[in-house]
Chain A
């Protein structure tokens, strides 16, 4: 994992000092709220329905035991003892008082963390594959390049007041686990011979106008990447719309210009860069940052583990968890563990301080000090020996962290909704919980197989409803909450925006309607191997729409 040097450390400390001054000037009235707002946002401080909320960056979802324990401390000291992991691999602390934010940022800085650019119209946290370095399908580890992008984009003087927020995601695997095609810039690492480069997708996004990104360049060699990003950012900063907040994202610029013209402008800007304008990233610096991400010294182990196999045979609960929550690892005898933050009836992505400390302990004892956050709001221990799984499982059970549902229907993405958010039109959390209840039976969930349900409480789509296999969007109709259902979305390498089925449902109708849809799928699939999304693709939406609106 990357470690700060004295430059990084100084930068973060000076940022805290700067923000402490800004908070003091705001509290004394010297700064008007309107002038303070973008400053607090660029430090992750939101004013929500009940209180301020502090969003802290977890660059590319990378944590360590030390960092996780400090997040627990921040949660206890300044929030109500819990934090909420987000779809951009960050963590949010609700209930933080504005006057306490600088002290919270001090604690974060003590463990090389910050809230810089976690909101506002600037370049946000770069997200990445939570199995980076561990999964078998990654051609390289994307994290070093995410760290390079983090540094390049931090306090970038030209791009702090963009037309709108800007999100970059990077993957190195064929299976896209970070949804690059619905990001402002999605980078897919590619090899041409020995040269590493990036396939560049621009202009994806969700919100009220969902768009799948356009392929702008098939291969930007790694040593040109930052300069190429500069060219994209400048074209966007100068020409992105600023007349209408809802048309200000880069996806609208790409759509209005057309991908060809947009690409032409980027290429022209890139070609016009003079030597003195280049970012000048020395090879030695690329190598220095890569050195921090060397994989752990794994032990030589056989492909299978007798301890693991015996425990599965002895404990059906363990076997189920192992079946659902493990991901194949590059090394024989190792695996990646998903710690689900989606217990039935819980709040998606929430974790209390005790649980954070437990996960930190497990990572330290069994997981080479590595913990990741997924964009689907779970945690991952990427490097764990199969032999240790029974012990880890027992500890997770004791901590209430052993929900065996990774990728299943109850592993939903849910935004905070009207319970917390000023933008929301409808509640999300209770609807998600009600849907979970209907599918709570673990056998039923497993029978249904992999299926993504995403819920947003408003058109801004923080719950990524457009790219759920089943999407649920809360809308307000004359003071009453209704829920629009969409089918067929996906955020992976075959990204598609889901199609709205028809009129919205009342909240109490949603769980039963989804159950009818799911049971229709179970009756129509060719076998258990055909996933919901594949049956939907094969048969079209009609049978499922019919089921959705049928009366029991």
Chain B
């Protein structure tokens, strides 16, 4: 599954570690929110980079105290029809000012990427979509009716001079 970010296919040093398995020294790992919260106090002392994988049931507010120290948050879309990840992304980016990588994983399809991008997700581990189709998807609409994560000025505002 290609990782696409910043308009290009990207190498991916990160691995997702299920459950409580050991995190090798010097590696890049994402873990579930509950494990992250449990180990958070010791993370700064370690040589291992630890990110978080959020699932739809997770409450992003629990992660808020750690947003300065985390470099990668993955938002899992187990089914593309489960839209909770869009709200999680909006909360992280727009309410809590998270500036690190926000990556969609799971059932990530070409036709959801436009909405993901506008919700603040900036990296996509896609199921089948290749780079050209993702780039197409990102530019299907020139204008927006609502403010979003990308800072694009809404039509409501644009009509009256931004």
Within 8 A of A (CB), among B94-152: 94-95, 109, 111-112, 114-119, 136, 140-148
Interface: A499 (CB within 8 A):
no
A104 CA / B86 CA spacing, docked (Å): 31
Interface: B39 (CB within 8 A):
no
A513 CA / B119 CA spacing, docked (Å): 56
User: Is A237 a contact partner of B87 (Cβ separation < 8 A)?
Assistant: yes
Within 8 A of B (CB), among A1-40: 5, 7-8, 10-11, 14-15, 17-18, 21-22, 35, 38-39
Whether A274 contacts B155 in the complex (CB less than 8 A), given A237-B84, A242-B82, comes out as no
With a CB–CB cut-off of 8 A, which chain B residues contact A285?
156-157, 159-160
Closest Cβ of chain A to B45, distance in Å, is 33
Whether A161 contacts B141 in the complex (CB less than 8 A), given A152-B146, A279-B146, comes out as no
Q: How many positions in chain A have a CB within 8 Å of any CB in the partner chain?
A: 44
Within 8 A of B (CB), among A150-173: 151-152, 154-163
Quick one: which of A7, A8, A157, A279 has the most chain B CB within 10 A? A157
User: Is A282 a contact partner of B156 (Cβ separation < 8 A)?
Assistant: yes
With a CB–CB cut-off of 8 A, which chain A residues contact B27?
none
Whether A237 contacts B83 in the complex (CB less than 8 A), given A7-B155, A154-B145, comes out as yes
A230 CA / B36 CA spacing, docked (Å): 30
User: Is A272 a contact partner of B95 (Cβ separation < 8 A)?
Assistant: yes
With a CB–CB cut-off of 8 A, which chain B residues contact A35?
80, 109, 111
Closest Cβ of chain B to A236, distance in Å, is 10
User: Is A237 a contact partner of B86 (Cβ separation < 8 A)?
Assistant: yes
Interface: B81 (CB within 8 A):
yes
Whether A151 contacts B145 in the complex (CB less than 8 A), given A7-B155, A35-B109, comes out as yes
Interface: A314 (CB within 8 A):
no
With a CB–CB cut-off of 8 A, which chain B residues contact A159?
83, 86
Q: Which residue of A lies closest to B115 (CB)?
A: A157
With a CB–CB cut-off of 8 A, which chain A residues contact B94?
274, 276-277
Interface: B30 (CB within 8 A):
no
Main secondary structure of the interface of A (DSSP, over half): helix
Closest Cβ of chain B to A157, distance in Å, is 4
Q: Which residue of B lies closest to A160 (CB)?
A: B115
Interface: B154 (CB within 8 A):
yes
Q: Which residue of A lies closest to B153 (CB)?
A: A280
Closest Cβ of chain A to B130, distance in Å, is 11
A171 CA / B147 CA spacing, docked (Å): 27
Interface: A541 (CB within 8 A):
no
With a CB–CB cut-off of 8 A, which chain B residues contact A5?
159
With a CB–CB cut-off of 8 A, which chain B residues contact A160?
83, 86, 115
With a CB–CB cut-off of 8 A, which chain B residues contact A76?
none
Q: How many positions in chain B have a CB within 8 Å of any CB in the partner chain?
A: 38
Interface: A234 (CB within 8 A):
yes
Closest Cβ of chain A to B115, distance in Å, is 4
Interface: A301 (CB within 8 A):
no
A307 CA / B115 CA spacing, docked (Å): 58
User: Is B81 a contact partner of A280 (Cβ separation < 8 A)?
Assistant: no
Map CB proximity to B onto A221-243 as digits: 1 under 8 Å, 0 otherwise: 00000000000001001100010
User: Is B146 a contact partner of A7 (Cβ separation < 8 A)?
Assistant: no
Q: Which residue of A lies closest to B128 (CB)?
A: A30
User: Is B156 a contact partner of A279 (Cβ separation < 8 A)?
Assistant: yes
User: Is B159 a contact partner of A162 (Cβ separation < 8 A)?
Assistant: no
Contact of A10 among B95, B114, B142, B146 (CB under 8 A): B142
A499 CA / B115 CA spacing, docked (Å): 43
Interface: A284 (CB within 8 A):
yes
A354 CA / B111 CA spacing, docked (Å): 39
Within 8 A of B (CB), among A280-305: 280-282, 284-285, 288
Closest Cβ of chain A to B122, distance in Å, is 13
With a CB–CB cut-off of 8 A, which chain B residues contact A18?
140-141
Closest Cβ of chain B to A150, distance in Å, is 9
User: Is A121 a contact partner of B81 (Cβ separation < 8 A)?
Assistant: yes
A160 CA / B126 CA spacing, docked (Å): 19
With a CB–CB cut-off of 8 A, which chain B residues contact A280?
147, 154, 156-157
Map CB proximity to B onto A267-280 as digits: 1 under 8 Å, 0 otherwise: 00000111011111
Interface: B35 (CB within 8 A):
no
A288 CA / B159 CA spacing, docked (Å): 9
User: Is B141 a contact partner of A11 (Cβ separation < 8 A)?
Assistant: yes
A151 CA / B148 CA spacing, docked (Å): 14
Contact of A14 among B141, B155, B160 (CB under 8 A): B141
A38 CA / B82 CA spacing, docked (Å): 12
Within 8 A of A (CB), among B66-90: 80-84, 86-88, 90
User: Is A277 a contact partner of B84 (Cβ separation < 8 A)?
Assistant: no
With a CB–CB cut-off of 8 A, which chain A residues contact B82?
161, 242
Closest Cβ of chain B to A41, distance in Å, is 11
With a CB–CB cut-off of 8 A, which chain A residues contact B81?
38, 121, 161
A284 CA / B157 CA spacing, docked (Å): 9
User: Is A22 a contact partner of B111 (Cβ separation < 8 A)?
Assistant: yes
User: Is A10 a contact partner of B140 (Cβ separation < 8 A)?
Assistant: no
Contact of B160 among A154, A279, A284 (CB under 8 A): A284
Whether A157 contacts B160 in the complex (CB less than 8 A), given A14-B140, A18-B140, comes out as no
Whether A157 contacts B118 in the complex (CB less than 8 A), given A237-B84, A238-B84, A285-B156, comes out as yes
With a CB–CB cut-off of 8 A, which chain A residues contact B80?
35, 38, 161
Instruction: List the interface of chain B (C-beta within 8 A of A).
Output: 56, 80-84, 86-88, 90, 94-95, 109, 111-112, 114-119, 136, 140-148, 154-160
17 A-B contacts, Cβ less than 8 Å apart?
Answer: A7-B158, A14-B141, A35-B80, A121-B81, A154-B145, A155-B144, A157-B86, A157-B118, A158-B115, A161-B80, A161-B81, A237-B84, A237-B86, A242-B84, A273-B95, A284-B159, A285-B156
Sample of 11 further A-B pairs with CB below 8 A, known A156-B145, A282-B157: A10-B142, A14-B141, A152-B146, A152-B156, A154-B145, A157-B86, A157-B117, A157-B148, A279-B154, A284-B160, A288-B160
A-B complex: 10 closest residue pairs judged by Cβ atoms: A161-B83, A157-B118, A157-B115, A7-B155, A158-B86, A284-B160, A151-B145, A18-B140, A285-B156, A157-B119
